[in-house]
Amino acid sequence: MMRLARTLLAALALASAAPVLAQEDKRPEITERLEIGISTDEIAISSDFRGADLTIFGAIEGYDPNLLAQRKYDIVVALEGPKDDLTVRRKERVLGIWVNRRSMTFELAPESYSLSSTRNVDDIAPAAVLNSIGVGLQHIRLDPIGYIGDGSNISEFRDAFRRLKETGGFYQRDPGGVQFISASLFKATVRLPANVPNGTHVVRAHLFRDGVFISEKALPLRVVKTGLEQMISNAAYANPVSYGILAVILAALTGWIASIVFRKD
């Protein structure tokens, strides 16, 4: 199995060797590339799903053997959930009752985010580098949309967002989740939470050399929930009017049958 993976990756390396060579004259210092693979591009999840680990295999190509021996390469693999505009609301006390007052909406933030890396991401690269590529729980891109006033409370809402996502199990990290299984071949384990959102996720792998971001590779991964519960939920969104009419018919039948069954006269 391992040998097969290696031959496969070797074949991939050969196929991509030509363009790499062509670029070498202009930027000789950057030759490393990442290749990753997952066994499937779709995961079916049943209603009793309690969370699972997803293993991603990959290899560094065109690496410098000396740097590799000095462990100068770092890999960060993230599983990003489907993106949506997410609003954080804050309750405040008004006339004795708790009311949602302030809010901030972050543009297309991932619903879930599972991070796996060779070591703590903040030790891998400077914060500015991580912020610019949006890698790491503290560096993920959270851009507010709409009116935000003087912007003084952005960090407050970002912190609340990350805290809620982490306590809910949607955002997680594993600083030892990426392991080298041979010189340049690695294995990354990312966690799928029990309440993993339905939709297209992206596996995004990042290669760093001595604190410098070198290259990125992404693969889509579709998460499809199965079972009766999900079928009903899908119907509620796909055919909302027929779903509503069905709900009324069901209620009318229940009431009518009850009146026949329990008829006293």
Binding positions for another protein, rule: CB under 8 A: 82-92, 96-100, 103, 105, 111, 157, 160-161, 163-165, 199, 229, 232, 236-237, 240-241, 243-248, 250-252, 254-256, 258-259, 262
Closer residue to another protein (CB): 182 or 242: 242
DSSP alpha helices (H): ranges in the chain?
A: 2-23, 65-69, 121-124, 127-133, 154-167, 228-238, 240-261
Give min distance, CB of 228 to another protein, in A: 9
Phi/psi of residue 134, nearest 5 degrees: 65, 40
Helix axis angle, 228-238 relative to 240-261, nearest 10°?
120
Name 217's bridge partners: 205
Residue 222 CB, shortest distance to another protein, in Å, is: 14
Of 119 and 141, nearer to another protein (C-beta) is 141
Q: How far apart are CB 225 and another protein at their closest, in Å?
A: 12
3-class DSSP state for residue 74?
Answer: strand
**Rounded least distance, CB 11 to another protein, Å:** 37
Nearer to another protein, 183 or 246 (CB): 246
Instruction: For residue 103, give the 3-state DSSP assignment.
Output: strand
Report the alpha-carbon distance of residue 158 to residue 165 in Å, rounded. Answer: 11
Smallest separation (angstroms) from another protein to the CB of 139: 19
C-beta separation of 49 from 222 below 8 A: no
Element of type H or E holding 62: none
Q: Is the Cβ of residue 8 or residue 160 nearer to another protein in the bound state?
A: 160
Closer by beta carbon to another protein, 16 or else 87: 87
